[in-house]
Every structure is written in structure tokens, then in C-alpha cells.
């Protein structure tokens, strides 16, 4: 489809500054034009739908996707049929089995979800440019002035949905939301599932949202809900009926009144974001939850995280080891400061100093040392900047400064080998103490791995 660009005036937004206008909307405030500007597409039960697409025997049946074959883990996805039994992401497998006798458990195949994601994005591009890939199952597209009438936007949504089913997989249904800004378009996509299409018009805002819960809004979790309640805000109506500045004060933080304007349909500029940490976690199979396999798994996760750090040209100043013991929902964690580094050897050496603390925490608990989940996070990350040759490379080989220069070069060489010959072609020991779980690349709904990660 050819796209014609139309120039139109931009609305300038300043935190805490109320646009001057006649008394009409929102207690005397007026707004700039708020046409339909965003189309947001959310794949329904994405992981489970991919599994049903790959295996016709699963179609029409309740399916739960789990990280491993174990009743002690939780669902990372549930099919549309499974959701009718009350099963959802985060439901323990043992509980899901009690809710549905005919439930089918299938292990996650993240590489397949990535492949389908690439095909879906490519299909959407056939109809409209993709403005932002928000997650593995969510895509946002900005509508131009020749696409944002109700008729044109509705037809476009139907073409995209049909194109995905025809050219990617007929099990892959989607819900689409269309609204004046991206936050509202996402909210609209959640209002009718599965296979829905909802349009939020500026003329109906914010009253159209009053029946929803605060937690339905992306960005409001339990902590923010409590904060708003302390300020006397218990629902969306109470938030929107305040003046923008007062609503922003209740929200707190810089530009706290952004949400007020967004809920009234104003399309604000995106706020720049920056990665603050890089990490990986792994749910261990029941037979690999003792101290030795936990330590080896954590080392493997640290290598994977450090490889990502180098590929993104960052360095870290903090290493965090976190874990969850069996029958405990709280997370244990400890950390150690790092010199600004992206060297696998430096990170592994620091990790070794944290294991005694994890062992001590495990011994202090009743029963044997049993860790259900272990994770490693590299935090306080910053861009490396321009590379330059080390001044210490020609020092005596046993000098600590020269050693770090060599180990970083070796770490980068390992990255190149694994990229060429496949994951785990070369790794750092020790690997004694028994086999560990296979640790592949996993997709979080809020983060899509790069293709390179499937080689790390």
C-alpha cells in the first residue's frame, strides 16, 4: 500500500502546564485535535497458539506451556481453551491440572516463538509500517491521516488479522485496539479477546474508561495502586476528575501528569528509555536443585549475560545473584560491586564470592538445600564508548592489569566461536559435578531476544 505523508501541526506538551483553551472538556480544559492515531495488535495466547499451529493434535484443546516438565513450575502461557478453566500465565502446573483434567502440558520452544514473531511482523509490514515492536506478541503502528478514519482503520485491522491467519498460521488470532494514543490503543486491544477489534474515540474519553480497574492500565501495579489510594484515588474516574497537576502529584515522579493527558486521548511524545540491567534466570528441573547444579547453572547464566553485555557494547558495575527456594515465593538475593567490566572471567570470579552466601541461606532453611530458580543480573550498566587499545597489553603476562586485557580478548574470541559454530561450542569450566539443565534463550513478554542470543 502506498502511503502519503500529510504535514500537520504538532502538540507541544510540557509537564505541569495546562493548555489554555475554552471551557469545554475536563473541567474547562481543551485539547489539541485527537484523531485515531494508533493501531495496537496483540496476539491471543501467543505461545500456546504457536504450539497448536505446529501440532494439529493440540488444536481446540486446553494447552499449557511450561518451562520444564514439573508440577512445581508455573504456566508461561495458556491456550484460549485452557483459559476458560481459569488457567492463566503464572498458574502453578499442579493447580492447572486440578482445574482441567484434560489439560495438555507442552514444554516451551522459544526458538519457534521467535520464528513466528518474525513472520508476523513481516506480514504486518505488508499492510502498514511497524512503528514499534512492544513485545513478542504486541506490535504498535502509527496511522497516517489517510488511514485513521473509522472505516479505513477498521478495514486495515481486518486485513492484518486475515493476513496473519492466511500467511503465518490459522491458529494465530489477534485482538486489535485503535485509539488516539498508544497507551489507549493497547488498553483497547485488551477489552475484547479473543479475536477482537475495539476503537476508543476521543469524544468518549475518559468516561469510556470508568468501568475499568486501575490495574488494567499499563504501568499501574500493586505498588502504584496503593500509592494512589493513599492520595484518595481508588478508580480511574477519581484520577481523571482531578486537575492534571494534582493527578501528577498523586502519581509522583517526573512528568507525573503524563497519564492524565494520555487517558484524555492526547498523543504525547515517547519518553526515551535506557537499559539498566542485563540478566537471565532459569527454573531448574526437580533433580537439579542441589548446590552443585545450581552453581553450574548460575555460571552458565552469567556467561550468557556477559556475552549480551559485550554484544550491546555495555559494561556493568554490579553483579546480583538471586534465587527462589522450593515452597517459598519470596526471592533471595545478594550482590557484589564490579569494576566497570564486560569480561566473563571477572564476572565469574565475582560470582564465586556470592555462592557461600547462597549455601548459608539454604542451610538455614528446614530440609535440604533445594533451589527452584536461580538468576544472574548485571546491573548499573553503561555504554563502553569508543574502543581503544589497552596500555597494559604489553606488560608482564602475570601482571593483573595485563591479565584482564587478555581475558577480555579471550571472552570476545569465545563469542565469535559460539556465533560461528553454535551455542556451547566453547565455554568456561568447571563442568564437573554432573550435567546441568539445558539453558536456551527464553523470551520474556516484555523483551524479545536478538537472533544472536540463540547462539549464546
The domain that contains 426 carries what CATH number?
3.30.1490.100
Q: Are 185 and 321 in the same domain? A: no
| Contact by Cβ (8 Å): 158, 10 | no
User: Cα separation of 415 and 398, whole Å?
Assistant: 24
Tens-digit pLDDT profile for residues 362-390: 888 876 788 888 999 999 988 886 444 44
Q: Are 327 and 439 in the same domain? A: yes
Tens-digit pLDDT profile for residues 70-109: 787 889 999 999 999 999 998 999 999 999 999 999 999 9
Four-residue CA torsion sign, 281, 286, 288, 294: positive
Domain boundary among 205, 237, 268: 205
User: Cα separation of 304 and 423, whole Å?
Assistant: 10
Domain-embedded: residue 43: yes
So what's the pLDDT on residue 420?
63
CATH value at residue 176? 3.30.70.270
Q: Are 172 and 34 in the same domain? A: yes
So what's the pLDDT on residue 313?
87
Give residue 101's domain range.
23-205
So what's the pLDDT on residue 16?
39
Q: Are 178 and 35 in the same domain? A: yes
Overall domain count for the chain: 2
So what's the pLDDT on residue 284?
86
Q: Are 199 and 284 in the same domain? A: no
Domain boundary among 189, 205, 221: 205
Name the H helices within 106-211: 110-125, 150-167, 182-189
So what's the pLDDT on residue 454?
46
Tens-digit pLDDT profile for residues 149-172: 999 999 999 999 999 999 999 999
Q: Cell triple for residue 266?
A: 492526547
User: Cα separation of 338 and 385, whole Å?
Assistant: 18
Report strand pairing: 63-66 vs 104-107. Answer: parallel
Domain-embedded: residue 13: no
Domain-embedded: residue 443: yes
Tens-digit pLDDT profile for residues 243-296: 888 888 888 876 778 999 999 999 998 876 666 889 888 888 888 888 899 999
Phi-psi region of 257 (alpha: psi -120 to 50; beta: other; left: phi over 0): alpha
Q: Are 168 and 311 in the same domain? A: no
Tens-digit pLDDT profile for residues 2-32: 444 433 333 334 333 333 333 334 545 667 7
So what's the pLDDT on residue 11?
38
User: Cα separation of 173 and 162, whole Å?
Assistant: 9
So what's the pLDDT on residue 110?
87
Amino acid at each position: 500500500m502506498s502511503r502519503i505523508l500529510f504535514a500537520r501541526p504538532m502538540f507541544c506538551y510540557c509537564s505541569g502546564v495546562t493548555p489554555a483553551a475554552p471551557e469545554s472538556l475536563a473541567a474547562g480544559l481543551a485539547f489539541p485535535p485527537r484523531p485515531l492515531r494508533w493501531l495496537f495488535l496483540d496476539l491471543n495466547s501467543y505461545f500456546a497458539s504457536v504450539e497448536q499451529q505446529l501440532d494439529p493434535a493440540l488444536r481446540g484443546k486446553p494447552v499449557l506451556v511450561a518451562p520444564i516438565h514439573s508440577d512445581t513450575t508455573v504456566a508461561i502461557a495458556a491456550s484460549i481453551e485452557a483459559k476458560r478453566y481459569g488457567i492463566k500465565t503464572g498458574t502453578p502446573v499442579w493447580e492447572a491440572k486440578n482445574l482441567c483434567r484434560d489439560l495438555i502440558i507442552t514444554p516451551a520452544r522459544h526458538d519457534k516463538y521467535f520464528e513466528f514473531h518474525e513472520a508476523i511482523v513481516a506480514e504486518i509490514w505488508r499492510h502498514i509500517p511497524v512503528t514499534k515492536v512492544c513485545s513478542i506478541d504486541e506490535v504498535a503502528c502509527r496511522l497516517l491521516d489517510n488511514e485513521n478514519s473509522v472505516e479505513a482503520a477498521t478495514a486495515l485491522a481486518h486485513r492484518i488479522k486475515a493476513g496473519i491467519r492466511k500467511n503465518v498460521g490459522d491458529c494465530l488470532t489477534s485482538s486489535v485496539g485503535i485509539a488516539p494514543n498508544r497507551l489507549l490503543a493497547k488498553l483497547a486491544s485488551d477489552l475484547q479477546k479473543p479475536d477482537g477489534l475495539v476503537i476508543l474515540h476521543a469524544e468518549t474519553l475518559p468516561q469510556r474508561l470508568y468501568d475499568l480497574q486501575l490495574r488494567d492500565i499499563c504501568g499501574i501495579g500493586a505498588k502504584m495502586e496503593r500509592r494512589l489510594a493513599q492520595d484518595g484515588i481508588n478508580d480511574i474516574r477519581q484520577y481523571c476528575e482531578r486537575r492534571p497537576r494534582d493527578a501528577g502529584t498523586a502519581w509522583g515522579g517526573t512528568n507525573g501528569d503524563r497519564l492524565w493527558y494520555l487517558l484524555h486521548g492526547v498523543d504525547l511524545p515517547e519518553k526515551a528509555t535506557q537499559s539498566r540491567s542485563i540478566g537471565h534466570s532459569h527454573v531448574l528441573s526437580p533433580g537439579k536443585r542441589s548446590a552443585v547444579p545450581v552453581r553450574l547453572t548460575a555460571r552458565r547464566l552469567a556467561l550468557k549475560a556477559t556475552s549480551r553485555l559485550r554484544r550491546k557494547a555495555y559494561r556493568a558495575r554490579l553483579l546480583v545473584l538471586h534465587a527462589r527456594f522450593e515452597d517459598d515465593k519470596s526471592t533471595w538475593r545478594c550482590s557484589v560491586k564490579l569494576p566497570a567490566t564486560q569480561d566473563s572471567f571477572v564476572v565469574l570470579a565475582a560470582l564465586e564470592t556470592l555462592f557461600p552466601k547462597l549455601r548459608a541461606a539454604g542451610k538455614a532453611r528446614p530440609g535440604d538445600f533445594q533451589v527452584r530458580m536461580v538468576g544472574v543480573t548485571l546491573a548499573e550498566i553503561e555504554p563502553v564508548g569508543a574502543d581503544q587499545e589497552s596500555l597494559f597489553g604489553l606488560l608482564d603476562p602475570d601482571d593483573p592489569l595485563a591479565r584482564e586485557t587478555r581475558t577480555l580478548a579471550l571472552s570476545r574470541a569465545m563469542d565469535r566461536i559460539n556465533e560461528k559454530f553454535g551455542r556451547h561450542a566453547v565455554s568456561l569450566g568447571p563442568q564437573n559435578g554432573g550435567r546441568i539443565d539445558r539453558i536456551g534463550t527464553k523470551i520474556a513478554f516484555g523483551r524479545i531476544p536478538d537472533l544472536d542470543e540463540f547462539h549464546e
